[in-house]
Amino acid sequence: MIKEKTNRYNESSRSKRKSKVGALWFAPVFLLCVTLIVLTLACRPYIDFAFSMARMFLVDERLTYNGETITTAPGEFPSFGEEFGKLKIEKISLVGPLYQGDTEEVLSKGIGHFYGSALPGEGSNVVFSAHRNTHFAQLGALIPGDRITLDTSGGVFVYEMVDAVIISENDEQYVMPTTNEVLTLLTCYPFDFIGETTQRYIVRCRLISGPENAWGGV
């Protein structure tokens, strides 16, 4: 009887030891997997940005479709997904490609024009957005008076920063049409936050110079 109890005790002890060993083995593997997932999500925008910069300076950066380039011709209204210029801000050493549209695919390559907002020179609200940890990472360093240049297929437009505001992600007043031309630069906020945010950082600018009827009167 005593021997039988001893055997059951030994089997129970071995089972507990195996359970502990299994838990000790699983914990670091689980932590490693979580760490790799977090790092992948956090670094993806930087990887996309690096490829974007490589395209800009090392190879023909124009988009292609079925092997054919689809960049916008001078003065021609840009179609969705086309690149049609560059945004330049000397203050923060920024030179970024401008694309028509602001889908995730577009934003992984450059700065997206809010589809439906005005184009430069059309006399209303011109809205561009980009990721806070790539092209617009230093947007918070701008102060009133800093110059922003849009070198587009419709001509060169120069704007001057007026102010900056922090808004809710659901606040749409700053992307609505305006009676006079303004440039609105938009990105997620806070800048150093990892993950989804509920706020947006807005830089508002006034037009200084640029051609009229840049897009053939469209």
How far apart are alpha carbons 156 and 88 in whole angstroms? 11
State the pLDDT at residue 72. Answer: 54
Look over the chain and give the mean of its residue pLDDT values, rounded to a whole number: 78
How far apart are alpha carbons 76 and 83 in whole angstroms? 12
Radius of gyration of the chain (CA): 26
State the pLDDT at residue 6. Answer: 52
Q: Are 81 and 99 in contact (CB under 8 A)?
A: yes
Token couple for 105: 């695919």
Q: Are 148 and 158 in contact (CB under 8 A)?
A: yes
How far apart are alpha carbons 123 and 178 in whole angstroms? 8
User: pTM for this structure?
Assistant: 0.66
Q: Which of 111, 144, 116, 141 lies closest to 128, judged by CA?
A: 111
How far apart are alpha carbons 86 and 68 in whole angstroms? 21
State the pLDDT at residue 38. Answer: 58
The question of whether 113 is a catalytic residue gets the answer no
pLDDT digits (tens, 9 = 90+) for 116-142: 899 999 999 999 999 998 999 999 999
Higher local confidence (pLDDT), 51 or 21: 21
The question of whether 205 is a catalytic residue gets the answer no
Domains of the chain by residue range: 60-209
- Single out the catalytic residue among 33, 43, 113, 188: 188
pLDDT grade for 62, boundaries at 50, 70 and 90 = very low
pLDDT digits (tens, 9 = 90+) for 46-58: 444 444 334 333 3
Query: Burial code of 203-212, b = ≥16 C-beta within 10 A, e = fewer?
Result: bbbebeebee
Higher local confidence (pLDDT), 38 or 28: 28
pLDDT grade for 65, boundaries at 50, 70 and 90 = very low
State the pLDDT at residue 85. Answer: 95
* DSSP result, 24-89: HHHHHHHHHHHHHHHHHHHHHHHHHHHHHHHHHHHS----EETTEE-PPPTTSPPPTT-EEEEEEE
- Single out the catalytic residue among 113, 131, 135, 205: 131
Cis amide leading into 190 (omega within 30): yes
CATH number for the domain formed by residue range(s) 60-209: 2.40.260.10
Q: Are 35 and 43 in contact (CB under 8 A)?
A: no
Q: Are 111 and 96 in contact (CB under 8 A)?
A: yes
The average pLDDT across 176-184 equals 95
At residue 132, the 3 state secondary structure works out as: coil
How far apart are alpha carbons 79 and 87 in whole angstroms? 18
